[in-house]
Amino acid sequence: MKTLTMKFGGTSVGSPEAIGNVIAIVQAELQRDQRVMVVVSAFAGVTDLLYETVREAVAGNKWNYLSASQKLRERHLEALTILTTTGPIRDEAQAAIEKLADQHAQLCQAVTILGDVTPRITDAIVTFGERWSSIIVAAALQHAGVNATAYDSGQFIRTDDRHGSATPIWGETETLIRDQLLPLLDQGVTPVLTGFMGMTADGHHTTLGRGGSDYSAAIYAAFTESDELVIWTDVDGVMTTDPRIDQRARVLPNVSYQEVGELAFYGAKVLHPKTVQPILVKNIPMRVRNTFNPQHPGTLIGPQNIPTATVIKAVTSVRHVSLLTVSGRGMLGVPGIAGRTFLATADVGANILMISQASSEQHFCFVVMNNKALEAREAIEAALVDEIEREDVDCVEVMPEVAIVTAVGAGMRGTPGVAGRIFTQMGEAGVNVIAIAQGASEVSVSFVIAEADIDQAVTALHDLALESIAAVNGSG
C-alpha cells in the first residue's frame, strides 16, 4: 500500500466549493488503496487577517480586532454548515471552532492590555488559521465517509523557540512522527494536519515562516517514507515564468530538486524555499498539481536523473529588494571584512539573497529585502567602525528599488556561451545589469537590475527559455 502526503494551499481550501474538490481528490486516492496524509493551510486570506488583528490589538483598537475575530468565526462556521449536515460531526467541529475563536479574542485582549506583543504570542495567534482549517476539512471528510481526524502539528513537529521562523529539531520530530503518526495510518486513519506550524518542547506554538505548510508537508513525507509528496495549489504546476509578466508561460513537466530549489529561493511562488530539504536525501518525488484542474498531471520534481537537456528552463524574479555595497581601497587583503559584514546582516534578521564581489576585493555587494536594508546598513557600519575610521572602508551604500532576475536550468551546466547569450539579450532589451552572481553548481545565473525594468528583462530572458524548450522538443 502506497503512502501519499498531500498538501492543500490556502486557495485550495479557500471556499466550501474548493474544499469539495479536496474531498473528491482525497477520496479518489483512498479508493486506489493508498494511505493519505492531508496537510492544510489556512483559508485564503485568513493568516493576513490574523496578523492584522495582532496589529490592531497592539494599537488598542478593541472593536477592530473583535470585529475581525467575529468575521473569522462566522466564515469558518459558515463553511462547516455548507460542508456538513446537522449531527454529531458538525456539533463536535462547531464546538472546536468556537473554542478557538474565543481563545483568539482572549489573546488579542491580553495584547491590548499589555500594549505590546511578543513573537511567541504572535505565533500563537496566527496558527489559528490552520487549526480552524484542519477541523473543517476533517469534518467534511468524515461527512463524506472518510475515517479522518484533525491533528495539531504541534503534536508531531518539535521546533526550537525562534518564533516566526522556527527550525525543526529533526531527531525529536522524526521520533514523534514515527511513534505517534505512523500508527494512525496503520489503523486506517486519514490524518488532517495543520501546516505552517510546530511546537517547542515547553508547549508553545511556533511557525515555520510564511508559506511553511509546504515545508511541513515535506517533513511528514520524509519521516513517513511517503511514496510521493503532492503540493496541491491553484496553478497546473511549476511554470517557465510568472504568467502575470508573460502570458506565454507554460507548465514544465519535469524539474529537478536543485532547479526547483533555485526557483523557489529566487521568487517562484509555487513552493516554500525549504520544501525540498527534508525529502532530498530520501529521494521522495514531489508533484505540483492544480486542485481546480485535477486531470492535469502537473510538474514532477525529483532527483538529477530527470532529463536536463533544456538549457534554460525557467525565469524568475524577486521584487522589493535593495543592493548593499561595501567598498574601500583599503579593503584589499584585509581579512574578515566580508565575514563581519554578513554576520552583522544576519544579526538583524536580514536574509542575503545574492552576493557579488569584484576580483580586486575593493568592493562587494549583496541583496536583502527592502524592509531590512537600512537596519542592515546601520549594523554593518557599527561592526566596521574601526575600518571606516581608518578609511579602509569608504562607505556602505544602499541602492533601493532594484530586483533580482534569475535564469534556472540544470542544462546550463557545462554549456558554453549561456551567460553570454543572457547578457546579450539584456543589452538588446535595453536593460542595464548592475551586479551578477552564478553559483558553482551552474544551475542558475542571477543578476540585479532596476525594478522598473523587471517586466522587460523577464520577458526577454523568457524568450531564451522558450527557444531552449522548443529546441529540445524539436518544435518552433
Distant-in-sequence, close-in-space partners of 157: CB < 8 Å, separation ≥ 6: 168, 173, 176, 177, 197, 198, 199, 216, 219
Greatest pairwise CA separation for the chain in angstroms: 77
Element (H, E) at 112: helix 88-114
Give the CA distances from residue 227 to residues 5, 182, 183, 224, 255, in Å, rounded to whole numbers and listed in that order: 8, 14, 17, 9, 18
Helix axes 454-473, 418-428, angle to 10 degrees: 130
**Which pLDDT score is estimated for 247?**
94
pLDDT at 448: 97
How far, CA to CA in Å, does 134 sit from each of 9, 184, 197, 308, 476? 12, 16, 12, 38, 46
Radius of gyration of the chain (CA): 24
Report the pLDDT value the prediction gives residue 475, as an integer from 0 to 100: 46
* Helices vs strands, H then E, count in the chain: 16, 16
The CATH homologous superfamily to which domain 3-234 belongs is Acetylglutamate kinase-like (3.40.1160.10)
Q: Which residues of the chain have pLDDT under 70?
A: 267, 304-310, 333, 358-361, 439-441, 472, 474-476
Residue 169, CB half-sphere, CA atoms under 13 Å: how many? 15
> 110: which residues sit within 8 A by CB, 6+ positions away?
121
Rounded CA separation 127/196 (Å): 8
pLDDT computed for residue 357 by the predictor = 82
d(CA 133, CA 19): 10
Report pLDDT digits (tens) over 234-262: 999 999 999 999 999 999 999 988 888 88
CB 327 within 8 A of CB 341: no
Task: Enumerate the domain spans of the chain.
Answer: 3-234, 314-473
Three cell numbers at 210? 510564511
Res 476: pLDDT? 42
Cα–Cα dist 449/356, whole Å: 13
What pLDDT, on the 0 to 100 scale, is given for residue 330? 77
CATH T-level assignment (fold) for domain 314-473: VC0802-like (3.30.2130)
Which residues, listed in sequence order, are joined to residue 158 by a DSSP beta bridge? 199
400 — phi, psi (to 5°)?
A: -85, 180
